Structure 1
Amino acid sequence: MDGAERTRTLLGPADPARTIVVAPPPVPARDLIERAGTTDPATGHRRVRPTRRLLLTAGTLAVAAGAVAVLRPFDQRTPDGPGESGSAVGTLLVPVAYQFDADPPAAGPQLRTLASKIKDTEYDHRTGRYMYHQKRVWGDPVMSSADGRHHVAFADESKVWQAVDGTGSQSNTQLEPQYPDQESRDYWQRRMAGPAVADTAAMIPLPPMELTPPPADPSRLRELLKVELGAGAASKEVSTLYARYVVPRATRAAILEVLADVPGFRWRGRVTDRAGRAGVAVTADEREHDQQSLLIFDPRTGELLAHELLTLAPVRISAYQLILDTTWTDRIG
């Protein structure tokens, strides 16, 4: 199901353009997305960054223009939160419970301690042609009601096999709708045509691009993680790095050391991520944007398990990414 079809399904009978037939574009939207490039700061080369932004056809664009719904991409701060309790009509997201909720200490000393004692992970002893990642993302984009109060999005689970020359394959599975609060779920359940069905996409070939593994050198890592822009920017870059590369132990330790020197990170202690895994967490508040970044690390290996964005007033989830599996492999599928 593409973005336009998904939007029409969400709107159901409320879609005033549901009877309009729109001719398909000469190039499929997915192909356009895959061709879009940005610059990899580690290499200076062009790279493709897959994304889940919705592309609206003329019919659904007319709906948005009529103030029925507003679509917001991942990096435009929308509400949400960790921990899940679900039902057949979609999952309700709640914030992750922090060990240190009030007055958390600075994260620097704890991050340095973690960096000094992390162990090898399974993939540190494997080789293969492809870097494999299984990820789940919610909040890219979020669909909001006209008044901006009620929000819904579908989680998307992806499996990516990518060689160091950029080639490989990717598959995506659309999961059930998820909501940042009960009011949003009640609102959209009255308007959606019915419960969503998981939609598995065919294998998508990935185009060539040069990928350079992240360095273990602290000075180069500071540049790669954009620490000069603050803890919020560094959090997003750490999430991007772990979602693209199989990060070796020495680099994992160096990342923790670099983050330990970034002002603004607070230590949240033991947490449980959305996949039920035990982790340790740090957060960074960006009061000027009314949001908080959350990073959850494996306490044994130092791997990144999850990255989340939360709004602060009220506290609720804006977006999350779970990294469910990472390894090297010679096989696709």
Structure 2
Amino acid sequence: MNRQDRDINEPSHASPGDAVNLPGASRKRWSRGGRWLLAAFLVLMLLGPAAASVTFHAPSGQPVTAAADDGATLGPSDSMQLSARERLLRLADTITATPADTARGYAYHHQRRWILDTTGRRDGRGPTRPPGWREHTPAVLAVDIRRWEANNGSGRDITVEVGPDYTLTGADPHHRSTNAEFTRGRTTASRYPAGHQRSIIAGPPAADPDQLARQLAFDPLPDGPPATLRAVDELFTSFYVDLPVRKAALRVLADVNPISYRPGVTDRLGRTGVAVTHTSNRVTHALLFDPATGLLLASEQRSVGAHEYLDVPPGLVRTYTLFLTQTRRPGLR
């Protein structure tokens, strides 16, 4: 059974120190001797900008080199440097089907999401605030969602909400998720009638890249590449994305410029994938894909430096979504 076709109900046993965190938390390794630094400097002066690169290390210990400026990457087994576009197109051509691609029934999603925000202002309205609640304070809210949805929009979901967490643990780039994190949350269950539409993406997703790109262009104020990455995130959040559409989504991302492609990156469960990233306006947007199936494992928005309006440490994760399970189920359980 494909690992995406079953719930992940056990905590990850991988150590945070064993893997690179999304998106590209590996540190640059610098030469310790002055002679090495001088030699490297001379090489760069001779070869020019094309030689400038940052070396990341996959969990296997094999180096993966990513070009610093244009996002081109060189995988451990490649004999020549390929651009991020070429790597994405190659990935689209090689990903394989899962049993859910041909199954019938409810689209089933199990997702976890962490959001860095403020608790807002106490105004006497709305639900009772949890103990320790403080107004206008940075905090992380976390939610675990299990959702069943039929083709006609009917279905149900079970949501577990946790927080606000003023320690900001869920915004730590090295945070790892376990079931224990959600055992004491507030649980709600909802049912939806036929005709319910939860996504801003209209109609079933298209398998043609040009048509899919038009469906994903729903942002009324697009901000360039980040809008496309957020739209692909919404696609996998709201639909079971079968193989032809997964291929099309990767081809849509291949047309994003500039964009980076980084293999050997891990998510908050310790699963390893390939990260597609773009950085602008002090935020890195990242999507992490399973290199075998093309299913989305995680998405992230992380601050680069200080946050614009929250008084929090620099470099924290603003939003993070784990896609634990994406499959189809015959019934509402």
User: C-alpha distance in 1, partners of 2:315/2:263?
Assistant: 19
Write the distance in 2 (CA, Å) between the matches of 1:302 and 1:234.
Answer: 17
Residue of structure 1 equivalent to 2:329:
329
For 1:180 and 1:263, how far apart are their aligned partners in 2? 36
1:269 aligned counterpart, secondary structure: strand
Which secondary structure state, in structure 2, belongs to the residue aligned with residue 202 of structure 1? Answer: strand
Quickly say closer, same or farther: Cα 1:170–1:181, change in 2 above 3 A.
closer
Q: Specify the code of the residue in structure 2 equivalent to 1:115.
A: A
Determine the structure 2 residue equivalent to 1:107: 84
Q: Does 1:151 align with 2:128?
A: no
Q: Match for 1:296 among 278, 284, 288?
A: 288
Say which of 265, 276, 300 aligns to 1:271.
265
| 1:231/1:264 contact within 8 Å kept | yes
Match for residue 238 of structure 1?
Answer: 232
Pairwise CA RMSD: 3.3
Shift of 1:142: 4.4
Q: How much does 1:203 deviate?
A: 3.5
Aligned-partner SS, 1:201: strand
Q: Which runs of 4+ in 1 moved over 4 A?
A: 93-96, 144-148, 176-182
Give the SS at the match of 1:159: strand
Change (3 A) 1:152 1:229: closer
Q: How far apart, in 2, do the equivalents of 1:96 and 1:203 lie?
A: 37
Partner SS, residue 189 of structure 2: coil
User: Counterpart of 1:160?
Assistant: 147
* SS of residue in 2 equivalent to 1:235: helix
- Aligned equivalent of 1:137, options 65, 89, 113: 113
1:248-302 deviation digits (Å, cap 9, x = unpaired): 1111111111111111211122111012211110111122xx2110100001001
> What is residue 97 of structure 2 aligned with on the other side?
120
CA distance 1:246–1:319, change in 2 (3 Å)? same
Q: Indicate whether 1:307 and 2:284 are aligned.
A: no
Shift of 1:219: 1.3
With normalisation by structure 2, the TM-score equals: 0.61
Larger Cα-atom Rg:
2
**Higher mean displacement: 137-146 or 265-274:** 137-146
Of 167, 192, 213, which residue of structure 2 is paired with 1:205?
192
Give yes or no for the alignment of 1:97 onto 2:25. Answer: yes
> Which 5+ residue runs of structure 1 have no aligned equivalent?
1-82, 86-92, 186-194
Change (3 A) 1:221 1:167: same
Unaligned runs of 5+ in 2: 1-13, 27-55, 57-64, 73-82, 122-133, 173-181, 306-313
Q: Is the 8 A contact 2:22 2:286 kept in 1?
A: no
What is the SS of the residue equivalent to 2:265? Answer: strand
1:140 Cα deviation (Å)?
6.8
What displacement does 1:205 show? Answer: 3.2
Scaled by the length of structure 1, the TM-score of the pair is 0.61
Structure 1 residues 252, 179: closer, same or farther in 2, change over 3 A? farther
Change (3 A) 1:121 1:251: same
